[in-house]
Amino acid sequence: MQEKVSPVPVHVGIIMDGNGRWARQRGQIRTQGHLEGLKAAKRVVKAASDRGLRYLTLYTFSTENWKRTTEEVGFIMGLVKQYLRGELDFYRENHIRIRHAGDIAGLPADIAEEIRRAAEDTLGCDGMQVILALNYGGRDEIVRAVRRLTASGGQAEISEETLSAHLDNPDVPDPDLIIRSAGEFRTSNFLLWEGAYAEYYISPKFWPDWTEEDLARALENFRGRDRRFGGAVTGGAVK
Ligand code: FPP
């Protein structure tokens, strides 16, 4: 049973949107927006770790993002690789563990290998866990979970518990808060199952402009939420 009030979210998911618009606004190419988006991700990971968050899921590349140009896809994959390699010391120093959510089999072999290596190298880190949602789609995750569940035994019982147990990271608690930058009010296939009772926070700022202060604002906003998980309103005046 989850607590009704959670002053600091345990698990935050972020839809890092607006890289392209950020670049366009400055007359730059889209990839420049992704480059700045990576810098924002680094700032926010550090801030989230410093603030004691336990899990941070970053929506880095969706199962639908393959529709983008070969150049853009290649650029994002290159950034991921660079990020995983270049930040390893930072993770170890900050006791941050790297994990992955999504269909790893559908990723280029070198990227999949990089993810496995980073996950292995940070396995012993007991601080915040950063989950890179890469080639991730909520529907795809549910389909893969059902496949795993039905393949695991002829008479597999289908229930919320057994399906949850076959998701990509079954030990990770559901997100308390999902943040989306760039002002869109959409889930875009992010953590569909796990986010059933997540609180949403939409920021108008494009992702590359995000700083530690924006995270602080989102967490402060979360503190004021009355989480009922489907239960009735108990306190306060109802008019
Ligand atoms: C959404 O903005 C962003 C993406 C699809 C890519 C996210 C990638 C990064 C932030 C860089 C890599 C980060 C890590 C953590 C390795 P958009 O391109 O859809 O923007 P738009 O809607 O304005 O076009």
The chain-wide mean pLDDT, for the chain, equals 94
DSSP state of 107: S
Active site residue 65: yes
The Å distance, Cα 190 to ligand 1 centre, comes to 14
Q: Whose CA is closest to 4, among 154, 176, 211, 145?
A: 176
Q: Is the CB of 34 within 6 Å of ligand 1?
A: yes
Digit-coded pLDDT (tens) for 137-157: 999 999 999 999 999 766 778
Ligand 1, atom 12, lies closest to the CA of 38
pLDDT at 5: 57
pLDDT at 175 over 80: yes
pLDDT at 239: 38
Digit-coded pLDDT (tens) for 118-139: 999 999 999 999 999 999 999 9
The larger pLDDT score, comparing residue 155 to residue 168, is at 168
The structure's pTM equals: 0.94
Q: Is the CB of 188 within 6 Å of ligand 1?
A: no
Ligand 1, atom 11, lies closest to the CA of 38
User: Which class for 137: exposed (0-12), middle (13-18), buried (19 or more C-beta within 10 A)?
Assistant: buried
pLDDT at 238: 46
100 forms beta bridges with 132
Active site residue 17: yes
Which pLDDT band holds residue 187 (cuts at 50, 70, 90)? very high
Digit-coded pLDDT (tens) for 67-94: 999 999 999 999 999 999 999 999 999 9
Between the alpha carbon of residue 162 and those of residues 145, 157, 230, the distances in Å are: 9, 7, 21
Could you give all domains of the chain from N- to C-terminal order, each with its CATH number? 11-207 (3.40.1180.10)
How many residues are recorded in the chain? 239
pLDDT at 206 over 80: yes
Between the alpha carbon of residue 207 and those of residues 5, 101, 172, 203, the distances in Å are: 28, 21, 25, 9
